[in-house]
Structure 1
């Protein structure tokens, strides 16, 4: 019997997000007869932490906020202790590996840019693989961009989440990655369809545009809200339901109050199962300024909900414009025109829904798992 390849995934925590969903999918589907998999979480925190497959060896460095004291003084002391502990292990990675791992790994994986330094600083002689899902052209912080681009060059192999993610680095910075490949994220359409039927959702005002994403400024929900107000003022009755939590929540709540759209621009926060909210909407809108290859697009296509999306990142690799979705520039006027078209042209939307039924055949998950397996195996063999 051949010896299994020992793989270590490093990640910060399991809050609801695209990288976390990709990570969970890989943990669930990579072949167990080839790999012995360990997940090291910096913090055991987040809505998705309970979804980690039971046969994965799970190690966490510190406990999450969910498991801390409700007493504010004790809680602050626990957070202070946690910060110091994590600082210490960042400074002395050998101590971290000796305390929590104390074993050899053949391959270490950073599934997102927040995991680059922990994997690259690893004291063991493993093959290091970095995953990159981010469109660097929309980040104004050039120091941060160059830090990530340079870190990617230090990995033994880099996996990019879309062609555009890799090509934009070459176009803007003339930097190439000969030791890399493009592997799309797997999209679990059948699973999404089942989850979408788990409970009923009723909206007070149709038609409804649903949307899903972390509430960050680059997701552009502040702009979407302005467009919503503008369309209402022009007599286009509709509502918008945004599924997702994050740092922009308070700003968006305040903006909704200022624009008097609190009853029609619904901020639904993070949901463990967001799919019934999407399934029971009429359209889906993704207003982001930057994306890589968002799982959400394929999932929504699987639910047969017509999509308006900004033409950024790897999205045009997923949507054929005006055939199985509608692509617009990531600016207020273009998104407004697209939404207005959906609200006023039911024939076009109906045709799109029909085309979408065949479009989901684009997403071949087994091919993706085979490609990831091939990368891990080939890197192990070149040691």
Structure 2
């Protein structure tokens, strides 16, 4: 029997998010006859911890917030101790590998830019692979962008989550990555359809636009709320249901109160199973200023919900405009016009709904797993 290739994935924590869902999918589907996989989780934290496949070796480093004391003083002490420990080992990566990771690996993976420095500082003579999902054109911090895209050059191979993610770096910074490939994220449509039937969801006011994403300013939910108010004031009755948690929650709650839309702009927070909320809506709207290749678009298509989405990142690689979705610019007036079109011209969303039946054929998961496997094998052969 041939020796398996030893692969180490490193990631911070497992809060609900696109990267985390992609990670779990990869961990489930990479061939076990070829790879011996270890998953190093810096913080044992997040709703998706329990979804890590049971046959994967998991090394957890520090306690997550869920496992800390409810006593405020003790919890503060635990957090300070955790941060000091993380800082010490970040400055001493050889000790981390010697005392905590305790293994030799052929390949080490950074699934997101947050892990670039950790993987690049590894003392192992491993092949190092980075995943990059970020549209750098929307980051105003040039120093941070340059740090990330220059770090990418230090990896043995880079996997970009969409063609646009790689192209925009070339366009803006004239930097190319000859040792790279574009591999889309797998979208588990059958699983989504099954989960969407798990419980009923009833909305008080139809039609409903659902949306899903982390509550971050670049997701543009503050703009979506302004559009919602504008449409209501013009007599277009509807509601919006946003599934997701994050740092903008309090700002959005305050904004909803000021605009008096608390009963129609529903902030549903993070949901372990968000799909019944989407399945029971009439339309889906994605107002983001930047994206890479969002799983949500394929999942919503799989549920046959007509989509209005901003034309950013890798989204036009997923949606054929006015065929299986409707693309708009990432500004208030364009999103407003797209939503108003759905509310006033039922033929357009109905046509899109019909076309999503065929659109899901675009997402071939086995091809994606095969492409990732091929990259890992080629890198191992280079070692």
TM-score (norm 2): 1.00
How far is 1:75 from its partner?
A: 0.4
In structure 1, what is the equivalent of residue 377 of structure 2?
377
How far is 1:348 from its partner?
A: 1.1
In structure 2, what is the equivalent of residue 291 of structure 1?
291
In structure 1, what is the equivalent of residue 132 of structure 2?
132
In structure 2, what is the equivalent of residue 112 of structure 1?
112
Q: Secondary structure at the match of 1:154?
A: coil
Q: Secondary structure at the match of 2:153?
A: helix
Structure 2 distance, partners of 1:207, 1:238, is: 5
Structure 2 distance, partners of 1:262, 1:28, is: 40
How far is 1:181 from its partner?
A: 0.1
Q: Secondary structure at the match of 2:145?
A: helix
In structure 2, what is the equivalent of residue 71 of structure 1?
71
How far is 1:11 from its partner?
A: 0.3
How far is 1:134 from its partner?
A: 0.4
Structure 1 distance, partners of 2:232, 2:262, is: 13
Matches within 5 A, 1:332-347: 332-347=332-347
In structure 2, what is the equivalent of residue 359 of structure 1?
359
**CA displacement 1:54-111 (0-9 Å, x = unmatched):** 0000001101000000000110000000000000010000111111122110000000
How far is 1:152 from its partner?
A: 0.5
Query: Which aligned runs of 4 or more in structure 1 are off by greater than 3 angstroms?
Result: none
**CA displacement 1:213-262 (0-9 Å, x = unmatched):** 00000000000000000000000000000000000000000000000000
TM-score (norm 1): 1.00
- What RMSD over aligned residues (CA atoms) do the two structures have, in Å? 0.4
Structure 2 distance, partners of 1:125, 1:61, is: 22
Q: Secondary structure at the match of 1:48?
A: helix
In structure 2, what is the equivalent of residue 172 of structure 1?
172
Structure 2 distance, partners of 1:199, 1:117, is: 42
Structure 1 distance, partners of 2:252, 2:367, is: 40
How far is 1:292 from its partner?
A: 0.2
Any gaps of 5 or more consecutive residues in structure 2? none
Any gaps of 5 or more consecutive residues in structure 1? none
Q: Secondary structure at the match of 2:323?
A: coil
Structure 2 distance, partners of 1:260, 1:93, is: 52
Structure 2 distance, partners of 1:128, 1:14, is: 22
